[in-house]
């Protein structure tokens, strides 16, 4: 009848981390928005309309370098 014993599944969330170098260990902040999927976060980074697409200086896979930081997708 009731399923009180069922554990809630932890849903994955993704954030865009600001890092000094191309390594998550140098993280100094993160974008305020949480994303439900990795692809949503990636789209936000590379979008020229609602992301950083116009100011990207360099890329390394799904990581992007802007003027003052590397943008790296981090799973929460």
Tally of structural domains, the chain: 1
Residues of the chain with pLDDT under 70: 1-9
What pLDDT score does 65 carry? 97
What is the DSSP code (8-state) at residue 23? S
Structure-token match 């954030």, residue found:
15
Ramachandran assignment for 54, one of left (phi > 0), alpha (psi -120 to 50 degrees), beta (any other)? alpha
Quick check: is 41 in a domain?
A: yes
The sheet with strand 14-19 has its strands ordered as: 27-30, 14-19, 70-75, 63-65, 58-60
Quick check: is 4 in a domain?
A: no
**Domain span at 51:** 14-75
Whole-model pTM: value is: 0.84
């Amino acid at each position: 009848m009731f399923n009180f014993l069922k554990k809630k599944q932890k849903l994955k969330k993704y954030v865009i981390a600001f890092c000094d170098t191309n390594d998550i260990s140098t993280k100094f902040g993160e974008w305020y928005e949480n994303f439900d999927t990795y692809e949503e976060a990636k789209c936000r980074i590379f979008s020229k309309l609602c992301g950083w697409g116009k100011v990207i200086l360099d890329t390394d896979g799904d990581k992007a370098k802007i003027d003052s930081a590397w943008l790296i997708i981090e799973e929460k």
